[in-house]
Amino acid sequence: MTDPNQLTAPTAVAVLTHVVRSIVDDPDAVQVDEVEGRQRIKLEVKVGPGDLGRVIGRRGRTAQSIRVLVRAAAAKDGHEVDVDFVD
């Protein structure tokens, strides 16, 4: 993860990291990277082997819920974010 002092959306990254770490079997393998785009900030989430299915959930419901939660947290930072789960 990038340095918390350098983050554009620190609240969104903290919420995303906390939620994903609480879901997966190997919380130490969770990595959240912030990539600045043209209009939005992209948060890329990498998890350990075998944990991607847990984060995505059935029919993507867990992933969609995480996205909604993180977008609300990003509003506090004054930014719009997209969350991508990277394999």
Q: Which residues pair with 43 in a beta bridge?
A: 34, 83
For residue 33, how many other CB atoms are within 10 A of its CB? 14
Number of domains in the chain: 1
Closest by CA to 55, choosing from 29, 82, 21, is: 21
Is this structure's pTM higher than 0.75? yes
Pairing state of beta strands 31-36 and 81-86?
unpaired
Instruction: Please list the pLDDT of the chain residue by residue as tens digits (87 residues).
Output: 555 556 788 999 999 999 999 999 999 999 999 998 888 899 999 999 999 999 999 999 999 999 999 999 999 989 999 999 998
Supply the CATH number for residue 77's domain. Answer: 3.30.300.20
The domain in which residue 44 lies consists of: 4-86
Q: Are 16 and 70 in contact (CB under 8 A)?
A: yes
Q: CA-to-CA distance for 84 and 69, rounded, in angstroms?
A: 14
